[in-house]
Amino acid sequence: MTLVQEIMQNKVLVSAVLAWAAAQILKVFTNYFRHRKMDVERLVGAGGMPSSHSALVVALTMSVGLNFGWDSPLVALSCVLAAIVMYDAAGVRNAAGKQAKVINKLVREHPAPRVAREGKLKELLGHTPVEVVAGAFLGAAMAYFIYWYW
């Protein structure tokens, strides 16, 4: 069996990666419906609906639980990882994005030569709680799908 075949049989990895990819693809469409503008940067960018970080870690956690049992220490480990990632996405990174928006506004209104050369700060960094929950549901659904149909 080749390395690629072995990797494709790893349901935990496949469900996590596919959940992340599905979330990134969905971001392009949700962004289009929200802003009526196609932005392919959403395929690789942070922030937006749904959270690909949440989709990935929840798919990982669900897949580990489904494949190895819910009493596995790996489930505990992945639950802690998922909690940290989702808290960071909705808390710290979301706050950093809001701060970047305020800083960009200040720089526009009160330009300073050195700051202007630095460029605009990235504003879409984190997620709202709704985006995190949507990503979590997507990740859980992907894990169940892969577990039963892969």
Q: Considering only CA atoms, give the Rg of the chain.
A: 18
Question: 111 or 30, which is more confident?
Answer: 30
Q: How far apart are the C-alpha atoms of 28 and 139, rounded to whole Å? A: 17
* Closest among 95, 145, 124, 140 to 27, alpha carbons compared: 124
pLDDT by residue (tens digit) across 38-96?
777 766 777 778 999 999 999 999 999 999 999 999 999 999 999 999 988 877 666 77
* Closest among 36, 62, 42, 23 to 147, alpha carbons compared: 62
Query: Over 60: is that where the pLDDT of 115 sits?
Result: no
Type of residue found at 20: W
Domains held by the chain: number? 1
Confidence (pLDDT) at 114:
64
Q: How far apart are the C-alpha atoms of 67 and 44, rounded to whole Å? A: 29
Question: Is residue 29 within a helix (H) or strand (E), and if so which, with residue range?
Answer: helix 11-35
Residue 126 CA from chain centroid, whole number? 9
Residues in the chain, overall count: 150
**pTM for the predicted model, two decimal places:** 0.80
Domain limits at 144? 3-149
